[in-house]
Amino acid sequence: MFGIKPDARSTLDYKEEIEKYLFKKGVDENKTVVLLIDEGQKLSTPFLEILRTLLNYETNEYKLLQLVMVSQMELLPRIKKIKNFRDRISLKYIINPLDEEETKEMIEFRLLEAGLEPPRKIFTDEAIERIYEYTQGYPRKTSIICHNALEALVMHDKSIVDSALVSRIVDREII
């Protein structure tokens, strides 16, 4: 609600206060208000309708609100069903799954960020191939398998994740 607290509690009061706020920021202060929403696929249809309405707030010179929504693909068909929402989208970018090399780079990057000292490796190339084979490059699935593999290393006092361990994790559907 951008910190807006109107005196009355009707929907119309809120809409008017939001419009005043956006106008003040956009026109009077020459600022762009950005509303960033993560996990957009979880938004209900009525909430998407509210967002569509907010995107109407503009002047001849100023777009008063920029909406940035990060979501999984399941949101797209729902947006298409809402009249006039899709034509308010100026940029739509779809991130495709990683390829096998990018999957390997992601795993190695995250391990380095977690404190792994190079040149030590925890995942064999064959383990990474198996991870990619199962996940098809989807980062969330990759992270879950890697997390479970690292947990298994600790529990079984091992030092390397090989393809056999990844296969056991995938086959047990621990993920």
Q: What is the mean pLDDT of residues 17-41?
A: 90
Same domain for 21 and 79: yes
Distance, CA of 71 to CA of 69 (rounded, Å): 6
Same domain for 42 and 63: yes
**Per the structure, how many domains does the chain have?**
2
The two most distant CA atoms of the chain are separated, in Å, by: 66
What is residue 34's three-state secondary structure? strand
Q: Are 87 and 76 in contact (CB under 8 A)?
A: no
Same domain for 72 and 20: yes
pLDDT band at 73; cut points 50, 70, 90: confident
Q: Give the containing element (helix H, strand E) for 36.
A: strand 33-37
pLDDT value of residue 87: 83
Compute φ and ψ for 168, nearest 5 degrees: -60, -40
**Boundary residue ending a domain (36, 56, 88):** 88
pTM above 0.75, yes or no: no
**Residue range(s) defining the domain that contains residue 164:** 100-172
pLDDT value of residue 123: 97
Same domain for 82 and 106: no
